[in-house]
């Protein structure tokens, strides 16, 4: 064997590389689809009412919160559509919670797959985020039910403006996906992040106006101003509020209250880009740590 013979076959051609890339992309898309299907199917397999639980769950949650906070904070008397207020906040926040807390452990939990097959690390957070999105769409059925109820009682006006709500979903998805990648990476290197994140999620829940209303917070005192400032820095506040502007506030007036959609996309894109950078920077090391 001479040296001359060996050199020309040493490199893959550009075309070969492109074909490989395309094949990998298709493969990863297929895996993502199957993972999402599996996630959704398994989630409620062992319950009697099965997939309906996805619809019922946010509704029952809302009832509990309505009972507790509606009474304590007296919202149920001052606001006839408080149920709608609650549900809007709840399902948006739960989409984020579901996506990120599932993704946190996803790389490590799927180590059996990742160490034995060539699968893109992007697939696992992505499939969890898509599952969360599907769950969110199921929750929207509950939301529609409550909207119908409020509308029949004559406490709201119907308007097609509610469809504007879908405009924010891609932005929220980007935000969630970015967060998911950052968290999944952290978990690969530091397993105790899980405990921190559980506590952090509780804090996050309280710093997002899900059951309370923000106008009561800024009472003019320094502490009130501070908390209002912190809440304003919370990305979830802006997502929840936009969704509410369209679904809840719009329903009482019948007119669209245009929120700042641009801001939502900027936040989402920023987190997504950070997530991708973190992922690309560290993904070569994952295999040794998961």
Partner 1 sequence: MVNLMENKENLQNENIEVAQSEVVEVKEPENIIEVNNVSMEFFLPNEKVDNLKEFVIRLIKGKMEKKKHKVLDNISFSVKKGESIGLIGHNGAGKSTLLKILTGIMKPTEGSVMVRGTVAPLLNLGAGFDNEASARENVYLNGAILGYSKREIEHKYKEIVDFAELHDYMNMPLKNFSSGMVARLGFAIAIDVNPDILLVDEILSVGDENFRKKCAAKINELRDRGVTFVIVSHNMSQIKNLCQKAVWIEDSHMRAYGDSKEVCDEYIKYCNSLKH
Rule CB under 8 A: which residues touch partner 1? Answer: 1, 3, 5-7, 9-12, 16, 23, 26-27, 30-31, 33-35, 37-38, 41-42, 45, 112-119, 189-193, 196, 284, 287-289
Q: Rounded distance, CA 35 to CA 261, Å?
A: 31
Report in angstroms how near the CB of residue 33 gets to partner 1 at its nearest: 7
Toward partner 1, which CB reaches closer, 104 or 172? 104
Toward partner 1, which CB reaches closer, 10 or 223? 10
275: nearest Cα among 167, 168, 181, 210? 181
Report in angstroms how near the CB of residue 201 gets to partner 1 at its nearest: 17
- Please answer whether residues 169 and 134 qualify as being in contact, where contact means their C-beta atoms are separated by less than 8 angstroms: no
- Helix (H) or strand (E) holding 243, with range, is helix 235-244
82: nearest Cα among 209, 233, 217? 209
Report in angstroms how near the CB of residue 135 gets to partner 1 at its nearest: 17
Q: Rounded distance, CA 123 to CA 36, Å?
A: 10
Report in angstroms how near the CB of residue 26 gets to partner 1 at its nearest: 7
Report in angstroms how near the CB of residue 173 gets to partner 1 at its nearest: 22
Toward partner 1, which CB reaches closer, 47 or 117? 117
Indicate the DSSP class of residue 148. Answer: H
Six-digit token string for 222? 């320094």
Toward partner 1, which CB reaches closer, 2 or 223? 2
Toward partner 1, which CB reaches closer, 119 or 141? 119
Six-digit token string for 157? 């006006």
């Amino acid at each position: 064997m001479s040296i001359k013979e060996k050199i020309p076959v040493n490199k893959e051609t550009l075309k070969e590389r492109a074909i490989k890339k395309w094949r990998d992309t298709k493969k990863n898309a297929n895996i993502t689809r199957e993972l999402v299907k599996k996630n959704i199917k398994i989630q409620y397999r062992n319950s009697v009412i099965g997939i309906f639980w996805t619809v019922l769950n946010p509704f029952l949650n809302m009832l509990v919160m309505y009972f507790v906070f509606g009474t304590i904070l007296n919202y149920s008397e001052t606001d006839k559509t408080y149920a709608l207020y609650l549900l809007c906040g709840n399902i948006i926040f739960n989409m984020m919670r579901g996506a990120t807390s599932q993704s946190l452990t996803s790389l490590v939990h799927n180590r059996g797959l990742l160490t034995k097959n060539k699968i893109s690390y992007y697939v696992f957070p992505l499939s969890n985020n898509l599952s969360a999105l599907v769950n969110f769409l199921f929750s929207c059925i509950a939301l529609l039910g409550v909207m119908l109820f409020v509308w029949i009682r004559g406490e709201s006006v119907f308007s097609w403006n509610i469809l504007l709500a879908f405009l924010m979903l891609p932005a929220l998805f980007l935000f969630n996906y970015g967060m998911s990648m950052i968290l999944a990476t952290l978990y690969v290197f530091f397993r105790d992040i899980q405990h921190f994140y559980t506590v952090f999620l509780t804090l996050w829940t309280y710093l997002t106006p899900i059951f309370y209303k923000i106008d009561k917070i800024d009472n003019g005192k320094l502490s009130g101003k501070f908390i209002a400032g912190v809440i304003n820095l919370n990305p979830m506040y802006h997502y929840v509020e936009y969704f509410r502007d369209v679904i809840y506030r719009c329903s009482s007036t019948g007119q669209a209250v245009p929120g700042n959609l641009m801001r939502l996309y900027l936040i989402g894109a920023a987190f997504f880009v950070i997530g991708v950078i973190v992922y690309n920077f560290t993904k070569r090391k994952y295999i040794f740590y998961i």
